[in-house]
Structure 1
Amino acid sequence: MNETPQGMVQLLEREDSNSFQSQAQPANDPVESTMKKITISVGDAGTLHVWNHDDVIMMQKKYHVMGNAVGCFAKTPLQDVFTSLPVRLTSAEAAYLRDIRAARFVREAELTAAPTEAQAELFHAHRQRQYIDQVQILAQNRIAEIESKRDKIFAGKISKMRADALAKGITLPADEEEIWKIMRDELLSRPVTHDGHVKLELPLRSWRTGMQMLKLPECEFSYPESHEEKIYYAAYFKLMLAGFWTTSGVKYGGDLLLYEGDVHVKHSVCIVKIVEDSKETSLEEILRLGRVATSCHKAVLWASVDNNYDVNFTCSKWALMK
């Protein structure tokens, strides 16, 4: 085996309690009442989403919980390369935010009810105001676009404009600035042509919540419940509490990927495999993960969880054979 990656030594040598319940922030902590909590929406099917962009920034930057952006940008809905809000969370990520008292949960079932007539009238009035604002913005952008191409437009139209004026017996202004104003006004008077297909601007969320018409009720979130979930969460919680960043490790055959810094700028250093202490890990599994980790320059962090949900970590890294 090779040396343990930097930063892992502190985790492997920790002697404090492994129980994730005992390491959560105390319920009577005065900081809890003043800190802003992340709002997590719980769907009917148990989906967990964060819709507010400020919450997402705080969640990732302060608490190292990444989630997975699953929405699309309003102007480019027909692609899945660049994703946007909402950010979907795994059950473990949401439970971690709950246990450190950094999140609140709201139930989205209320959104299935039909809007009232008063809410519908307010929505249509708001939509009409938005339409008028967009028309004004479009007109301003059109003027700016024409002005940016002034030299090219003027050079292309001046000869024909003078020929038409001569044929009609009209005298053009001697000042080029006055001639340009005539050209610009003629271009602005033309109707704006569309590009042949409709671009939908999709709302990020229900308009009733966006317009503060409906307040979603808070709810409880229960996780982990099964023995397997508790095994997974015990290891996940301790890694997060130690200050690491994690993402899914499925594509490498593990449970998690471990980062020693910001996921956006750093590569992962470990493939985390969570195992139950009472069950044997086959040699084939050890060799398989070892080969995958070596080929992508990572170590394997084995998280062994016992029946009391205490976690022991073992880090292995193959040395290159020459």
Structure 2
Amino acid sequence: MPLTNTSVPTPQNFFVVLYHGHQLLDSAGPLDILSTITKTQQGRNFTLTFLAEDLGAINLAAIPPVDADWDFEESGEMPRDDEGMVGGRGFNPTLNADVSFEDALRELRDTGKVEVNVRGRNSETGRWEVRKESRNVDVLFIPGGIGSRLYRVDNVSGERTLNVKSAIEFVRAVCLEGYVRSAVMTVCTGSDLLAHTGLLDGRRATTNAMAFEKVAKRHEGVKWLEKRRWVRSLPEEVQGKEGGFDGEIWTSAGISAGMDLMLWFVAEVWGGDFARGVGRRLEYEWRENVGEGEVDPYYE
């Protein structure tokens, strides 16, 4: 089952958009599927690149970085702890970006690729060392989470800014300027972030079932499909529209649905039997009975 757009290269380089307050399983589940594939012939050349506003630690809890001159706006979506922090300080996994949005976009505009520091073995000395590697953006992956809809408040001016503003600007630029070669993929309210770019206007998409009404109301130009596990939007849906994104967009419902989305993507590229084998290795029950754009009985 090859990708419908046969001019699209088989994906090798996966880029993940990070921000403070994103949902861990949104990214960890699908990425573990890809990690499993790296142990096979199909995935031996896979690369993974994390992108974020800055290169410091990215908090998965909704906590600003230690040197931030802003705080998260009070939100009724999650309770605050005794110190006033949404989600609490005590349980806060962190990730570090490989490249900032600003640097990645500049390098893409200069060379068409993103330069990343990687570890490799020196063929002469046999020792591990850090070297530069340039990568095309094959798949741009956007997780969801409460951080996708929280606002920041500047500690001095009081100015209110959407937490993912820089991510929205980066995603819009790399898509409209033609740097994404295979597909954009979102999990949960990652489609809310993507919808802010305008790239989903006129396209079918889905999002977290519990946040569906709020997300759909914010972006009325999108053809939101409720109670769907995953949706694959092909370029033909916006054919003839000027200034849009001419690639595939894959969106999924909340959190664990992202693993189904990735397995369907794997099936489309390398075949259903291969995807089933990956699911078995992870002991994951792939919802293969719920096809593209179909109502999922789970949400009933």
The answer, yes or no, to whether TM exceeds 0.5 is no
Task: Classify the TM-score, shorter chain.
Answer: under 0.3
Q: TM-score, normalised by structure 1?
A: 0.24
Which has the larger share of strand?
2
TM-score by length of 2: 0.25
Higher share in helix: 1
